[in-house]
């Protein structure tokens, strides 16, 4: 722990060295207009994505997602899109559509192919129990996306 308040991700977490975590940090820094994160280690930048059961329970069940939570949701799907792009060499475009009270839809498209289509719920509580579980979720989306692209390369290339 490098900061006063305890983090849910430790600096030595091996997941921090993976392509996914590196891309996540890059996405978070990209929207850090004031350079707040410049001096922060990766663990601290990604820490808000991880909430323990107790921390999550403290957030009201019903609520509107604020800009900060939304920027995290976007960073997560942007990172996945970036990894898809890296793997298949085709542009992957994320689209997030929120309706009301944190419900919505997240899409990633490659050409004319929808490679991910997720219903979003409780966006204001968007989080993962551990960094490792967050990476698992991203890996799952990534592998399904690459499978679909492999199956329909013509549609992905449109």
How far is residue 14 from each of residues 39, 62, 107, measured CA to CA in Å? 20, 34, 29
The reply on whether position 108 binds a copy of itself by CB under 8 A is: no
| Rounded-to-integer distance, Cα 9 and Cα 40, Å | 13
| Rounded-to-integer distance, Cα 51 and Cα 6, Å | 12
Paired residues of 50 in beta bridges: 128
The reply on whether position 148 binds a copy of itself by CB under 8 A is: yes
Among 79, 84, 115, 142, binds a copy of itself (CB under 8 A): 115
Residues that contact a copy of itself, how many (by CB under 8 A): 17
Q: Binding mask 116-135 vs a copy of itself (x if CB under 8 A, - otherwise)? A: -x------------------
CB of 22 to a copy of itself, least distance (A): 25
Q: What residues contact residue 9 under an 8 Å CB cut-off, 6+ apart? A: 16, 43, 44, 46, 47, 50, 131
Among 8, 71, 109, 127, binds a copy of itself (CB under 8 A): 109
Whole-number CA gyration radius for the chain:
16
Q: Given the structure tokens 């604020």, which residue do they identify? A: 66
Among 44, 129, 152, 153, binds a copy of itself (CB under 8 A): 152
CB of 26 to a copy of itself, least distance (A): 19
Among 97, 121, 150, 157, binds a copy of itself (CB under 8 A): 97
Stretch that binds a copy of itself, among 3-11, 24-32, 60-68, 101-109 (CB under 8 A): 101-109
Is residue 29 within 8 Å of 39, Cβ to Cβ?
Answer: no
The reply on whether position 105 binds a copy of itself by CB under 8 A is: yes
């Amino acid at each position: 722990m490098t900061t006063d308040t305890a983090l849910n991700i430790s600096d030595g977490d091996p997941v921090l060295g993976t392509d996914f975590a590196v891309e996540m940090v890059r996405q978070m820094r990209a929207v850090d207009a004031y350079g707040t994160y410049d001096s922060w280690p990766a663990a601290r930048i990604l820490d808000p994505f991880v909430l323990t059961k107790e921390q999550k329970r403290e957030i009201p069940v019903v609520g509107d997602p604020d800009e900060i939570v939304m920027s995290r949701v976007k960073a997560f799907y942007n990172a996945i899109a970036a990894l898809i792009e890296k793997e298949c060499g085709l542009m992957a475009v994320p689209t997030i559509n929120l309706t009301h009270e944190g419900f919505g839809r997240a899409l990633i498209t490659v050409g004319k192919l929808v490679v991910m289509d997720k219903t979003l719920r409780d966006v204001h509580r968007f989080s993962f129990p551990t960094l490792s579980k967050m990476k698992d979720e991203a890996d799952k989306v990534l592998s399904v996306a690459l499978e679909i692209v492999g199956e329909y390369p013509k549609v992905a290339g449109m």
